[in-house]
A and B are shown apart, each in its own frame.
Chain A
């Protein structure tokens, strides 16, 4: 499936929002892939971190907002810690999640959590979960 590029798309308000919210120089990514190579969850992602950076550069934001990968990110910060260009890739992930949440998109329903899980999972896990997987229905 081809991607049609033009300057409007490359500089859309979506792209601007991601650059501003993440405060990252997205265009300085040279696609070495070290973020993906060290990502503990990349094995399970439909869009791996370096592809995500590439799709942001190409303005393909909608594809990213509907991806599973942005919700699988554990915010372990390994990608940003190792990036040779100093890009905090995790902040770009967060910007994508924030946009998705503000648009009312969500990933899982918190009601599906069992009593047992609620009892055992420490608050930080549940809050991080709620924050990312907020059910807005």
Chain B
């Protein structure tokens, strides 16, 4: 015999203000299979839950319907309450009478009351047919993969490794450190970026639990939370790193030069090169596009000078397979191609540079050894214009969002410029000054006062080369005047965009990105480091533009999420997944192609379809695809749903 308890929540006035709860309660007090019909002001409160627990024990309930808010909110609360009173959690269902009833029918109270009764009726039918299910358990591979070796990836990797778990750290370039290693000094303390970062890169490079895979890219990911199978392509470096001692002789003697990516085109590098003097690992690669041997078939100077015979022109890419239980995505950012804003003349005029180029100009390891000299003629610029929101907050030509770091780094640039060129003048065009972080507002105000920076509220429309000057047409909206500045150099605070390949990586990981290509978090407020896919976590600018403190904080949070997963004995998954009626299945395989999670496959011997319980997310795609109605979702069979609909009609 069914003994179902119904508990109606007032949700303060959210539900009770629209629905006539005493009437609903009365209606169900005499209803078939209902043992108790009760109500309470806040069912989710401790006294509310106690009502439910007590009723289960005292009345011997074998099913519960809670009429309240969306199951997304408190289904888990009431199922846990049921468990503690000895009832199987899958015998508890939510009748959503708030989002789907009281909130949308505030002006038609009678109809709302009637509709809430209908909703509860259908859920009673469901509970009557619900089976007691047991959660599914799996083993966890307690190893992590971190994709991206910038400050975010390094932080996450070191945190996980320090807890005693192995980490595979994959980096696209041939040494770790990412964008932060390219920076000169960082706001708001003006610490040297390298000095802050290199202890971390060295730690990551030497950590016994971290397997560093640089010059590598993730190519394929299969599996699921707790058990991922990953294929990683290690690109051919043409240098045997096991032999290479990092002596640097090859780099010194290499006759081919090309633009340095690390210096953003302001300096040169050799065809065989390490990324920077502090590279971790300190091993070179040969860039085929600029190597004379690869282009013209002769040279081999590096081979001749290498004292340990590490050069290998025959080297091929390698694909390495790894098993991990969790993945941290820390793929970082790029800046918008400034050529998209041709009115600023980037790419046309040598002395119009972007923020990362200025970082290199100001860097002791940069192309000018830290002296501020402009690219065109090497002169020290005496009038420098800094422009914020270049491409950011520009829905027409760039991206609509705020890039979050430009206000601070351009303020920093202007101040650093004044440190090095005390008789120079810095102008900053801004729309708003967004100095939200700890110590940020003070930093900006101090810069204005001490460095005598002129902040001009307005945007720039046009930059034109006239002789050796750059004529900047801007506006000062505060005085209502167009302004013109004959500058020696212009620095653009260009928009932050996702790193190239982020969208492709998201496809490999079977997780989602937003319309700009940033990885989507599972919930913008409550799950900011979880991706949309279980077991994959996000850190740093891969998720959205952010500064170094926020990046490090998020990377730590991502590591903590990985560790809380690894801290569990077994993986537990909801049993509300697909199952197969073996009598009905003909083994046609339609479900296999319909499944977006690779959870379906054919059992060749039995000639029927089976479900990988770990991969199945219970989406129901196979159910609607199956021509024989052999695929079903547990506790959501067509029979149950027909019964629910019948009750409603």
Q: What is the interface of chain A, defined by CB distance below 8 A to chain B?
A: 30-39, 42-43, 47-48, 50-51, 78, 82-86
Contact = CB atoms under 8 A, between A and B. Distances in A.
Contacts of B393: 30, 84
B452 to A, nearest CB: 23
Interface of B: 343, 389, 393-398, 431, 457-462, 473-477, 480-483
A37 B458 contact: yes
A84 B395 contact: yes
**Residue among A35, A37, A83, A85 with the highest chain B CB neighbour number at 10 A:** A37
Given A84-B395, A84-B396, A34 B482 contact: no
A85 B475 contact: no
A112 to B, nearest CB: 28
B462 A38 contact: yes
Contact of B462 (A37, A43, A51, A85): A37
A85 B395 contact: yes
A113 to B, nearest CB: 29
B482 A42 contact: yes
Contacts of A37: 458-462, 473-475, 482-483
A33 B477 contact: yes
B396 A32 contact: no
Nearest to A38: B461
Contacts of B458: 32-34, 36-37, 50
Contacts of B389: 32
A33 B397 CA distance: 16
A14 to B, nearest CB: 22
A83 B475 CA distance: 14
**Residue among A36, A85, A86 with the highest chain B CB neighbour number at 10 A:** A36
The 7 closest A-B pairs by CB, nearest first: A38-B461, A37-B461, A33-B475, A33-B458, A84-B394, A37-B475, A42-B482
A36 B396 CA distance: 17
A30 B431 CA distance: 9
Nearest to B397: A84
Contacts of B481: 48
A36 B475 contact: yes
B475 A34 contact: yes
Contacts of B459: 32-34, 37, 84
A84 B481 CA distance: 19
Contacts, number: 72
Contacts of B480: 47-48, 50-51
Nearest to B462: A38
A38 B431 CA distance: 16
A12 B459 CA distance: 30
Contacts of B474: 33, 37
Contacts of A42: 475, 482
Given A34-B459, A50-B475, 18 more contacts: A31-B477, A32-B458, A32-B459, A33-B477, A34-B460, A34-B461, A36-B475, A37-B461, A37-B482, A37-B483, A38-B462, A39-B482, A48-B481, A50-B458, A78-B461, A82-B461, A84-B397, A85-B396
A48 B397 contact: no
Nearest to A83: B396
A42 B480 CA distance: 10
Contacts of A39: 461, 482
Contacts of A85: 395-396
Nearest to A50: B477
9 contacts: A33-B475, A36-B477, A37-B460, A38-B461, A38-B462, A48-B475, A50-B458, A51-B477, A84-B397
Contacts of A84: 393-398, 459
A10 B258 CA distance: 60
Given A34-B460, A37-B458, A39-B482, A82 B343 contact: yes
A36 B431 CA distance: 14
B401 to A, nearest CB: 12
A113 B390 CA distance: 45
Contacts of A48: 475, 480-482
A33 B459 CA distance: 6
A31 B459 CA distance: 9
Contacts of B343: 38, 82
Nearest to A79: B461
Contacts of A38: 343, 461-462, 473
Contacts of A34: 458-461, 475
Contacts of A83: 396
Nearest to B400: A84
Contacts of A86: 395-396
B497 to A, nearest CB: 16
Contacts of A36: 458, 461, 475, 477, 482
A43 B482 contact: yes
Contacts of A33: 457-459, 474-477
Nearest to B460: A37
**Residue among A30, A34, A42, A43 with the highest chain B CB neighbour number at 10 A:** A34
A50 B480 CA distance: 8
Contacts of A31: 431, 477
B403 to A, nearest CB: 14
A31 B432 CA distance: 10
Nearest to A42: B482
A46 to B, nearest CB: 10
Nearest to B474: A37
A37 B385 CA distance: 14
Nearest to B394: A84
A36 B459 CA distance: 9
A70 to B, nearest CB: 15
Nearest to A32: B459
Nearest to B477: A33
A74 to B, nearest CB: 15
B429 to A, nearest CB: 9
A32 B473 contact: no
Nearest to A41: B482
B482 to A, nearest CB: 4
A44 to B, nearest CB: 10
A48 B462 CA distance: 17
A37 B394 CA distance: 16
Contacts of A43: 482
B346 to A, nearest CB: 15
A52 to B, nearest CB: 10
